[in-house]
């Protein structure tokens, strides 16, 4: 296969496009990115060079701490032949009152793309509106598209197709669940989300996902019953109960989410060959039992690895 031709085809479709929400992309575009990511993964395993971003630079702005996001983007740019610059908000003029718009305009004069991991989604949107280079959302309080692309890639690798799959998220109606239900809806995966009352996904997100599900012939259902959600599913996913910014409410949330732990009793309702997924970091004994996350059905480290390959596909396509 002529891989440079594949890269050019991807650039013809996506070059210059921002990567802010998974819902901004069509099923065809996401499938192209997944297949491209798998090609890049195979090239790396075979030791084949794929320096498609030679001489390009990525600015990485972090207002939230990270392990996987920083290392995967930095490593990805290196493997693609480019360079990545880590920028903590405390080390930038952004932390001293410079506007997001001015930061975006200045960085656009220096680098070829900007990745930002921050709190409010409006910050990422404003960055993209003012930058003249592509902007990638490394995570906001509303969305985590990079993680979901890697998750969809992992599901496709393990199951071979998205057709007829059932997916359940058990936990909080947070950025992960909102992005996951959108990704499932676009790709045609039936998605069930079980949350405690008062912790639902945003109504606007749920409505949009349900509209996209109709187009793909799938369904999106929100429930308060985790056992109902996981019945007969192919994939079970969870996330920490106290995400960044909620640490002060941890004790209260532990009580609220106590019935939503993914444990052996809960996963018994899924198919025998179900996949257990988690975006990590995980807290064993809270949102997931050690027997599940460390069990034979767990693919959490495959997910983590695929962050590298999925993001390389995004970078090589849009930059």
163 occurs within a structural domain? yes
146 is in an annotated binding site: yes
184 is in an annotated binding site: no
Sheet of 220-223: strand order equals 220-223, 190-194, 166-170, 235-238, 275-278
- Residues 105, 205, single domain; the answer is no
- When divided into structural domains, the chain yields a total of 2
**pLDDT (tens digit per residue) in 124-158:** 999 999 999 999 999 999 999 999 999 999 999 99
Angle (deg, nearest 10), helices 121-130 and 100-110: 50
Residue 81 pLDDT exceeds 90? yes
Residue 51 pLDDT exceeds 50? yes
239 is in an annotated binding site: yes
SS3 assignment, position 77 = helix
**What residues are annotated to the active site?**
117, 144, 147, 239, 279, 307
The secondary element (H helix, E strand) that includes residue 150 is helix 145-159
The secondary element (H helix, E strand) that includes residue 135 is strand 135-139
277 is in an annotated binding site: no
263 is in an annotated binding site: no
**pLDDT (tens digit per residue) in 83-98:** 999 999 888 988 678 9
- Residue 14 zone, left/alpha/beta (φ > 0; ψ -120 to 50; rest): alpha
Q: Please report which confidence band the pLDDT of residue 249 belongs to, taking 50, 70 and 90 as the band edges.
A: confident
223 is in an annotated binding site: no
184 occurs within a structural domain? yes
The closest alpha carbon to 281, from 252, 248, 238, belongs to: 238
55 occurs within a structural domain? yes
Residue with tokens 């409410």: 249
- Residues 169, 263, single domain; the answer is yes
**C-alpha R_g of the chain:** 19
Which of the two residues, 65 and 150, has the higher pLDDT score? 150
Q: What is the mean pLDDT of residues 54-68?
A: 96
Residue 1 pLDDT exceeds 80? no
Rounded to whole angstroms, how far apart are CA atoms 154 and 51? 24
The secondary element (H helix, E strand) that includes residue 62 is strand 57-62
Q: What is the mean pLDDT of residues 243-262?
A: 84
| Structural domain that includes position 106 | 6-144+307-318
Instruction: Report the CATH number at residue 13.
Output: 3.40.50.1370
- Residues 201, 293, single domain; the answer is yes
Residue 107 pLDDT exceeds 80? yes
1 occurs within a structural domain? no
The pTM (predicted TM-score) of the whole model is 0.96
66 is in an annotated binding site: yes
Q: How many CA atoms lie within 13 A of 290 on its CB side?
A: 2
**pLDDT (tens digit per residue) in 177-219:** 999 999 999 999 999 999 999 999 999 999 999 999 999 999 9
Rounded to whole angstroms, how far apart are CA atoms 234 and 239? 17
94 occurs within a structural domain? yes
Q: Please report which confidence band the pLDDT of residue 40 belongs to, taking 50, 70 and 90 as the band edges.
A: very high
253 is in an annotated binding site: no
pLDDT score for 89 = 82
Which of the two residues, 250 and 284, has the higher pLDDT score? 284
- Residues 55, 110, single domain; the answer is yes
- The DSSP-derived string for 92-122 is SGGGGT--HHHHHHHHHHH-SEEEEE-S-HH
26 is in an annotated binding site: no
């Amino acid at each position: 296969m002529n891989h440079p031709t594949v890269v050019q085809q991807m650039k013809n479709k996506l070059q210059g496009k921002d990567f802010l929400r998974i819902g901004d992309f069509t099923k065809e575009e996401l499938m192209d990115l997944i297949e491209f990511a798998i090609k890049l993964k195979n090239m790396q395993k075979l030791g084949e060079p794929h320096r498609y971003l030679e001489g390009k630079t990525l600015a990485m702005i972090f207002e939230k701490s990270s392990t996987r996001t920083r290392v995967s983007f930095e490593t990805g740019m290196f493997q693609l032949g480019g360079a990545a610059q880590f920028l903590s908000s405390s080390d930038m003029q952004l932390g001293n009152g410079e506007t997001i718009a001015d930061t975006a305009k200045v960085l656009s004069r220096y680098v070829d793309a900007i990745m930002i991991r921050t709190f409010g989604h409006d910050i990422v949107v404003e960055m993209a509106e003012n930058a003249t280079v592509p902007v990638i959302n490394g995570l906001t309080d509303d969305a985590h598209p990079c993680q979901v692309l890697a998750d969809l890639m992992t599901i496709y690798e393990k199951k071979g197709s998205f057709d007829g799959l059932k997916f359940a998220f058990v936990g909080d109606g947070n950025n992960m669940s909102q992005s996951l239900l959108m990704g499932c809806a676009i790709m045609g995966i039936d998605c069930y989300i079980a949350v405690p009352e008062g912790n639902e996904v945003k109504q606007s997100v749920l409505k949009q996902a349900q509209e996209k599900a109709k187009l793909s012939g799938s369904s999106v259902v929100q429930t308060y019953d985790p056992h109902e959600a996981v019945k007969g599913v192919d994939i079970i996913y969870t996330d920490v109960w106290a995400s960044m910014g909620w640490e002060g409410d941890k004790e209260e949330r532990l009580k609220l989410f106590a019935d939503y732990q993914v444990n052996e009793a809960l996963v018994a309702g899924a198919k025998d060959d179900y996949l257990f997924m988690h975006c990590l970091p995980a807290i064993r004994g809270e949102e997931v039992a050690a027997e599940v996350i460390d069990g034979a059905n767990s693919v959490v480290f495959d997910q983590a690895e695929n962050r590298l390959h999925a993001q390389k596909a995004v970078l090589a396509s849009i930059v």
